[in-house]
Chains A and B, each alone.
Chain A
Amino acid sequence: MAYDKFSVINTPAVPLPIENVDTDQIIPARFLKAVERKGFGDNLFRDWRYEKDGTPKADFPLNNPKYSGKILVGGKNFGSGSSREHAAWAIYDYGFRVVVSSFFADIFKGNALNNGLLPVVVTPEFLQKIFDAIEKDATTAFEVDLEKQTFTITATGESAEFEINPYKKHCLQNGLDDIDYLVAMKDEIAAFEG
């Protein structure tokens, strides 16, 4: 799946200070019936975001007009549960490009990276600083620099480095995906099969 190339992002962030945000919350199963990859952002966090009759729940961060930006900040163990890639699609489709947490579930992390969504792991202390900064000023900006692998709280200049596998970094920076790579290897794969 083609996605935008990633370099530097500088925007405010939306806080979601809840732990173990599982993929059933990110996108409930009843929205997985599509056969195309379209419009999943509308149902992102559906049951936390809307009442049953479709009215937005005012206290949910995505419905709070004071929050905006391309960065979603979640509590520890973000993305646990099902392997549904729809979770990463929904977050991307909604307009986020970065998810920050102190801990991600493995499959979610892989799915995010395969879809141009950058998972940034920071320490629990730094995560708290990010939440605090947003609490103080909802419009405060953060800078995510993929080349330098840094996440910076612009207001205070405090910065954290994050890890990313060099191969995945290269893919994100160039909007490439693994399938191109694998298809080019077909002869090698056939030889392996023997």
Chain B
Amino acid sequence: MEAKTLFDKIWDAHVVKKVEGGPNVLYIDRHLIHEVTSPVAFLGLKNRGLKVFRPDKTTATPDHNVPTQDQHLSIKDELSRNQVEKLKQNCAEHGIVYHDLQSEGHGIVHIIGPEMGLTQPGMTIVCGDSHTSTHGAFGAIAFGIGTSEVEMVFASQCIMQPKPKKMRITVNGELSKGVTAKDIALYIISKISTSGGTGHFIEYAGSAITGLSMEGRMTLCNLSIESGARGGMIAPDETTFAYVKGRQFAPKGEEWDNAVAKWKELKSDDGAVFDTEYVYDAADIEPMITYGTNPGMGVGVTQSIPTSEGMEGTDKTTYIKSLQYMGYHEGDSMKGKPVDYVFLGSCTNGRIEDFRAFAEFVKGKQKAPGVDAWLVPGSKRVESQIREEGLTEILEAAGFELRQPGCSACLAMNEDKIPEGKYAVSTTNRNFEGRQGPGSRTMLASPLTAAAAAVTGVVTDPREMM
């Protein structure tokens, strides 16, 4: 038998049909929806006189647009409120489970899926949001889709997709102290660029990857899309099974045993061929920080901003424009750069482990007076867990307060916007111009590096304070 990759095994098992000279019709096991990319799809469905084909495979929650303070009040912004209301109505009309604000199941779609056990190995999972790649951490094929495709899944539980190429990224060795999954991801993207993964689906492998917790794996897979890849995945193992076991929608009893037996087959066969391979050494990775306006523009926190020497044409003009936007200069050292805001949260780093790391770091220290810090849990469950574990007290003693769950300043659709010209160290995924508010300047980093910036008020190597 031909040696197959993990990706091939799952993909091939979900192909309903191969269209002549065209894409594959791919069956979708789980469809997650939110308020921003679904309303037009629902409208399209209505115009065609159709109903959602498999509402039981669809789960909804409002996250992109919601306030992170006073969630018990009605949403102030009229347009945002309207979108959230629309989602609720559409779900009621089509029989889709909807996790409302403040309910136990509320949160960022990519955080609640795994929490509820909706995300399982071997599945195909889509959502109208590019960071759907997060769910690949469980050994699932998970990727973001556009609104037309959301409508396709509504109408038929399938989408039409060409099969992507396969890439394997192996990170060998052990991570050093203070280096996290976020740093691995930013390191990889700084090497292969924001277009290096285009056309590919990534499988991450190697001891530095299998050594990661599920939270860390989710952070890494989440950022796959920032390299241009469709998604990223990690073969499921005991760490995965232990995380899924006992969750609300996880298989139970005998079904569980059968499921695990099947999941154990989900790995790339020896000799399976990848279109592209990269191998890195974990020892080369230090805490990372970005200095420009795309996630590929990152360096180790002790490094300086690269010069444009050797660049030409639009490469060079784009680079210069980016540094101008940031107000930085070629050759500047990143350490010591002033920081106005710190944002901990998002589907990249809004899980319990991220809050634990942040809290542990700031314990016994004080927030720098000039820094505004927004700590936004990724979900209601994360929020509850933070409280139960007593992290709130630690954070408060250090001068930090917690907000309510949502996407928040990750994309600044709600009122959480970094003001023009201000610098934010952010645990999110995109440092594009204006991403965190018009004119905002974002430096992407891990929760530890964010915590170090929060207590010093400048870009700081977290290892110096651990």
Contacts and interface: CB of A to CB of B under 8 A. Distances in A.
Interface of A: 1, 17-20, 22, 24-25, 28-30, 32-37, 47, 52, 75-77, 80-86, 88, 103, 105-107, 110-111, 114-115, 128, 165-168, 177-179, 181-183, 185-186, 188-189, 192-193
Interface stretch (B77-85, B260-268, B335-343): B77-85
Interface residues of B, number: 68
A83 B148 contact: no
A104 B172 CA distance: 31
Contacts of B80: 33
Contacts of B20: 166-167
A8 B185 CA distance: 43
B147 A85 contact: yes
A24 B430 contact: yes
A178 B162 contact: no
B156 interface: yes
Contacts of B435: 24, 29
Contacts of A1: 44, 148
Contacts of A36: 39-40, 43
Given A52-B438, A128-B313, 4 more contacts: A18-B317, A29-B64, A105-B195, A182-B152
B430 A103 contact: no
A168 B16 CA distance: 18
B265 to A, nearest CB: 19
A77 B195 contact: yes
Contacts of B130: 81-83, 107
Interface of B: 16-17, 19-23, 25, 27, 36-37, 39-40, 43-44, 48, 50, 53, 64-65, 77, 79-80, 82-83, 86, 128-130, 144-149, 151-152, 155-162, 164, 194-195, 198-199, 228, 230, 294, 313-315, 317-318, 321, 411-413, 430, 432-435, 438
B148 A114 contact: yes
A22 B296 CA distance: 13
B148 A80 contact: no
Nearest to A183: B155
Contact of B40 (A37, A110, A128): A37
A83 B150 CA distance: 11
A186 B129 contact: no
A178 B161 CA distance: 10
Given A83-B37, A106-B199, A165 B53 contact: no
B438 to A, nearest CB: 6
Contacts of B315: 19
A51 to B, nearest CB: 11
A85 B195 contact: no
29 contacts: A24-B435, A28-B434, A29-B411, A33-B36, A33-B80, A33-B413, A35-B43, A36-B43, A76-B314, A77-B194, A77-B228, A82-B411, A83-B128, A84-B36, A88-B146, A103-B195, A106-B198, A107-B146, A110-B161, A165-B22, A167-B19, A167-B21, A167-B22, A177-B148, A178-B160, A179-B152, A185-B156, A189-B25, A193-B157
A34 B79 contact: yes
A117 to B, nearest CB: 11
Nearest to B437: A30
B314 A19 contact: yes
Contact of B160 (A33, A34, A47, A182): A182
B16 A192 contact: yes
A79 to B, nearest CB: 10
Nearest to A84: B37
A1 B152 CA distance: 11
A47 B293 CA distance: 15
Contacts of A80: 194-195, 228, 294
